[in-house]
Amino acid sequence: MPSRKRKNIQIGAKVSVVEKQNQKSGELTTGVVKTILTNSSSHPHGIKVRLENGKVGRVKSILE
């Protein structure tokens, strides 16, 4: 999945993320990437990012 590789996620990209408190329900939040928080090149649960609205979550899909 592209959302598991850091190189596929760009600052300014529109993405859907799952926040920590929504992991069990799988509820997605859509926003624009402000900061990439995961330092490793990949992560099995998705790359952790901070959105421009301040929310933090793991990328589940890249929309743009």
Task: Please give the mean pLDDT across all residues of the chain.
Answer: 95
Residue 64 has pLDDT above 80, yes or no: no
Q: Chain centroid to CA 36: how far?
A: 8
Share of residues in the chain with pLDDT > 70 (%): 100
Element (H, E) at 34: strand 28-36
Range of the domain at 36: 2-62
Specify whether the CB–CB gap between 58 and 46 falls below 8 A. Answer: yes
pLDDT in tens, 20-34: 999 999 999 999 999
Residue type (1 letter), 3: S
Number of domains in the chain: 1
pTM of the complete model: 0.91
Residue type (1 letter), 13: A
